[in-house]
Amino acid sequence: MNTQTPARPSFWSTVGIVAKREIVVRCMSKSFIISTLIILAIMFFAVVFTPQLGKLMSGGNTTVAVTADLAPKLSALPHTTVIEVADQDAARNAVLSEEANAAVVPDASNPLGIEVLALRDTPTGLLSSLSVSPNVQLLDPNAPHPALRYFLGLGFGMVWLMAVILFGMGIANSVVEEKQTRIVEILLASVSSKALLTGKIIGNSAAALAQILAIAATVIGGLAINGSVLPVANLVWPIVWFVVLFMFGFVMIAALYAAAAALVSRTEDLNTALQPLSWLVMLPYFGIIVGNSNPLAMTVMSYIPFSAPVAVPVRIFLGQSAGWEPFASLALLILTTVAAVWFAARIYDRGLLRTGKPLKWREALTAAS
């Protein structure tokens, strides 16, 4: 009787199985669902409603009581609703009864020939409309507002940072749990460590990319709704480049997080092992927040792989980036990602079955596989 040993699954077949499991576990977790819904709600509110707060807080049109001789002139004022009354006494009574917010009546003693009546507060909006201002020529009407530049960097940075922390910690906890429960020893009996690492990276990267695409779709949809207030055309390409750079940047981070987690055997030691990576992600983020008004600093950070996913889109929005620069940043990020994955695979392979005290990076590199 011939017995055949079951064929070992191929590398990519194993990667697919591991990746599918990671996607299902990650996307079905309560933390992922809740965090995604919260982020989408915040982004939608920020893009759709925040720019309209000024209109909502302005109180709408000012109702003004005027006599017949002044009605034609005041009817042309913006944000003003005119109520025509018989005389000055009727205008005064309209203000006292709060039928009108203010009244404009003739006044021969005033150089302007008019007087404004109000009940308790000065109608600053009406006075601004009545004032005479010189013509204003805008030399660059499409120049980005400094506040928008700051909040754009803050928004991209927060999404990048939250995704890295949420999914990076997820990968790291998964690796440590498999070591603690010794499940990894069973897994390595049938699959290679490289297939296991590749599946984890692809699965978590796919889940993170799905979240980022949902956020991008929400923001672009909000921009379409609020196009009269926000520069829609100027924001689409920065969002596209953010998604592209995020895809490669997250693969780099995910590989390093998995490698760092393979150095420890207990959850209690995980934060210490991940601390250097956390600083590598957080320091460039704070650098962009602080230095977003410095073109030289933003140029430098667009070529640093850990900050490029945020710095490059901001520079594109500000018009500070030449046409070739985003591609150069992307090429450098891809090369760094390849090197990081190769480095992480060596650490992961040599530290995965090690137990006891945490390994140092140098010890893992020099250890026999």
Cβ-in-10-Å burial (0-12, 13-18, 19+) of 171 comes to buried
> Tell me, what's the pLDDT at 248?
92
pLDDT digits (tens, 9 = 90+) for 135-179: 666 656 566 666 667 777 777 888 888 888 888 888 888 888 888
In whole angstroms, give the CA distance from residue 245 to residue 237.
12
> Tell me, what's the pLDDT at 187?
78
In whole angstroms, give the CA distance from residue 105 to residue 93.
12
pLDDT digits (tens, 9 = 90+) for 175-196: 888 888 888 777 777 878 888 8
- pTM of the predicted structure, to 2 decimals: 0.71
> Tell me, what's the pLDDT at 1?
46
> Tell me, what's the pLDDT at 5?
52
85 CB neighbour count, 10 Å cutoff: 21
Q: Which tokens sit at 274?
A: 């991940």
Residue 245: pLDDT band (50, 70, 90) is very high
In whole angstroms, give the CA distance from residue 11 to residue 194.
9
> Tell me, what's the pLDDT at 333?
93
In whole angstroms, give the CA distance from residue 366 to residue 67.
92
Residue 66 has phi, psi (to 5 degrees) of -140, 160
pLDDT at 44 over 60: yes
pLDDT at 204 over 90: no
Residue 319 has phi, psi (to 5 degrees) of 75, 20
Strands 62-67 and 80-85: parallel
In whole angstroms, give the CA distance from residue 60 to residue 67.
22
Cβ-in-10-Å burial (0-12, 13-18, 19+) of 226 comes to middle
Calculated CA dihedral for residues 78, 84, 85, 89, nearest 10 degrees: 10
Mean pLDDT score, 65-72: 79
Mean pLDDT score, 292-297: 81
106 close to 70: Cβ distance less than 8 angstroms: yes
In whole angstroms, give the CA distance from residue 311 to residue 295.
10
32 close to 38: Cβ distance less than 8 angstroms: no
Q: Which value, in Å, is the radius of gyration of the alpha carbons in the chain?
A: 31
Residue 133: pLDDT band (50, 70, 90) is low
Question: What's the Cα-to-Cα distance from 75 to each of 81, 104, 110, 122, rounded to whole Å?
Answer: 7, 12, 21, 20
pLDDT at 357 over 80: no
In whole angstroms, give the CA distance from residue 369 to residue 364.
9
Helices 146-180, 193-225: axis angle to 10 degrees equals 150
- Which of the 8 DSSP states describes residue 144? P
pLDDT at 54 over 80: no
In SS3 terms, 309-334 reads as HHHHHHHHHHCCCCCCHHHHHHHHHH
